[in-house]
Every structure is written in structure tokens, then in C-alpha cells.
Amino acid sequence: MTEALGSTATPESGRPEDEVASKKGRRGGKRGKKGPLGRLALFYRQVVAELRKVVWPTRNQLSTYTTVVIVFVVIVIGLVTVIDYGFNQAVKYVFG
């Protein structure tokens, strides 16, 4: 069988490195060695690290976005009201 480019097989043993690591009994690095509280603390640290990467909007951007959403919702409410009124009148006309 031909080997793919970038294969991790070593020419001496012919086994991939992943297979060698799994034979030694490793369970996934840091997560395999910690208990439930350690994993929970790791999760919390990762959440905080991801929240630091978030680009938060400025107060001006937030008020602009809020205004746009409120105007859009009012327009959709008006559209649905008009359509509902039209269907109501059509049903009254058909069924009397």
C-alpha cells in the first residue's frame, strides 16, 4: 500500500505515531488527567478566554442596532396587522 504525503509513519517501525501514543494509555492530554472539578475549571477558563476575544459594540453602535431592531419589529407588526385584517374581512365576506 502506498503512503500518503505527510504520513506520520516512521520508517523503522512502520506504525503511525498516534497508534504508538494510544498503546501507552494516554487518554487525551490534560483532560484525561483531571477530575470533574478540574475539567469544570478548565471549561470556565476557556469560556473567559473566548469572551475576551469578543469585539463588544460601543454605546453608540448598541443604541443604533437597538433602534433598527425596534423599527423593524414595528414595521413587521404593522404588516401582519394589515394582512390579518384583510383575511378577517375576506372570511366575513365568504362566510357571512
Residue 71 within a domain: yes
Cα separation values, 70 from 42, 66, 78, 84, 85, Å? 39, 6, 12, 21, 22
Residue 79 lies in domain = 57-95
Residue 82 within a domain: yes
Residue 81 within a domain: yes
Closest CA to 8 of 24, 26, 23, 19: 19
Residue 76 within a domain: yes
- Rounded Cα distance, 64 and 72, in Å: 12
Residue 86 within a domain: yes
- Say if residues 26 and 32 touch (Cβ distance below 8 Å): yes
Q: What is the pLDDT of residue 87?
A: 97
Would you call 9 helix, strand, or coil by DSSP? Answer: strand
pLDDT digits (tens, 9 = 90+) for 54-85: 999 999 999 999 999 999 999 999 999 999 99
The pLDDT-based confidence of 96 (bands split at 50, 70, 90) is confident
The pLDDT-based confidence of 12 (bands split at 50, 70, 90) is low
Mean pLDDT of 16-45: 70
Count up the domains in the chain and report the number. Answer: 1
pTM over 0.75: no
